[in-house]
Amino acid sequence: MAGFHAEKPTFYCGNVHENGLVQVIDSGVRLIDCETFQLLDEYVAECSVTVATGNSSQVVIALSGGLLVCLDIDAQARTIREKARVLMDQEIACVSIDSVRVATPPTSDAMDIDTMDVDDHNLSNTDATGGASASTETHLMLAVGLWTDHSVRLLASDQNTLQEISQVRLGSDVQARDILIVVLQGTTYLMIGLGDGSIVTYMVAYADGMPTLSNRRKGVLGTTPISFSQFHNSGDVCVFASCDRPTVIYALNHKLLFSVVNLSQKGVTCMSSFHSELFPDCLAIASEETLMLGVIEDIQKIHVQSIPMHESPRRIEHSAP
């Protein structure tokens, strides 16, 4: 476990291509080999990381002072490379990312037939008919909750730039504590969890890679700050909102539905899906004092298969029925 820094708290970690994993700590980002756990590369941030998120090829970190940095994980070279950064005008409370495929228009080709035969270099950029072919690029969309003005900013990153596209006011004097862009049954949603246990949701539509928000809904889940995680239930993506009244959010017939989870302990602080051969389709659920593994049999109820622990868990034994 040499590459993994265990003596510091982790802000985010996840698998990346190819056979790597990233760990974000307060000093920066570590790229680690999945099998040997050796450190492959490290990005040292110029000041402390406050929040972080990522996907299988990118990591986005927010630094104290409001700096937002996008990092690419090069799967072949196995290195971390800074791609873009922007300074927001306030501290960043939370961030979520989505990858959007954007069709790039064919490049205009003003060459006439005569010069094409002479210049071999340009020939490779054109197809048989003499025009360049269209392709798609992947852009990164970021949703950022800011600390002071209770707004959410949407930013887009392509090539080496990161710029703000739009913003929404949360319409509340409570801070956003977590944010999530998620696709449920083919529709993209933006969810914001507030510090008082309320939730704001929007539908997101993309046109030419630019997002527009609609269908704003606000509701109350509980009374403590909400944090989001995702899991699969019967093949569909669902969202787990952790708070003192943990709730599963899912889509059915283009509507968002909310289902309260019945758990013996009060309140959930965070959750991660955990699907292993030994414990398939499980959710690891943490509260102030316990960690448990459980399975949601259907959206309406949760069935506990393991015993909640009352001390820091060191070992969980599985006894076959």
Partner 1 sequence: MGIKGLWSLKQADRSPYDKFLVQAFVGETRILSIEDNELAEVRTGFNLFCELIIIIIIIEYDFICYVCDAMH
> Which residues are at the interface with partner 1 (CB under 8 A)?
1-2, 4-15, 17-19, 21, 23, 34-35, 56, 229, 269-279, 284, 286, 288-291, 293, 311-318
Note the residue count of the chain. 321
Output 121 or 315, the one with its CB closest to partner 1.
Answer: 315
Nearer to partner 1 among residue 4 and residue 258 (C-beta): 4
Q: Which is nearer to partner 1, 9 or 105 (CB)?
A: 9
What is the nearest approach in angstroms of partner 1 to the Cβ of residue 264? 16
Q: In what order do the strands lie in the sheet with 151-158?
A: 92-104, 135-146, 151-158, 161-169
Shortest gap between Cβ of 15 and partner 1 (angstroms)?
5
Q: With respect to partner 1, which residue has the nearer C-beta, 186 or 321?
A: 321
**Rounded CA gap, 320 and 255, in Å?**
39
Nearer to partner 1, 127 or 311 (CB): 311
Neighbouring CB atoms inside 10 A of 71's CB total 24
**Residue 252 CB, nearest approach to partner 1 (Å):** 26
Q: How far is CA 200 from the centre of its chain?
A: 17
Q: How far is the CB of 166 from partner 1 (least distance, A)?
A: 29
Residue 255 C-beta: closest distance to partner 1, Å: 29
Q: Can you give the C-alpha Rg of the chain in angstroms? A: 22
Closer of 24 and 249 to partner 1 (Cβ):
24
SS3 call for 276: coil
Q: Which is nearer to partner 1, 14 or 195 (by Cβ)?
A: 14
Q: Report how far residue 261's alpha carbon sits from residue 297's, in angstroms, rounded to the nearest whole number.
A: 11
In this structure, the dihedral spanned by the alpha carbons of residues 150, 244, 227 and 34, taken in order and rounded to 10 degrees, is 160
Q: In the bound complex, what is the minimum distance in angstroms from residue 306's beta carbon to partner 1?
A: 9
In angstroms, give the least distance from the CB of 56 to partner 1. Answer: 8
CB-based burial, 26-49: b 16+ in 10 Å, e otherwise: bebbbbbbeeeeeebbbbebeeeb
Pairwise CA distance, residues 134 & 33, whole Å? 36
How, if at all, do strands 92-104 and 49-54 pair? Answer: unpaired
**Could you identify the residue written with the tokens 């029925």?**
321
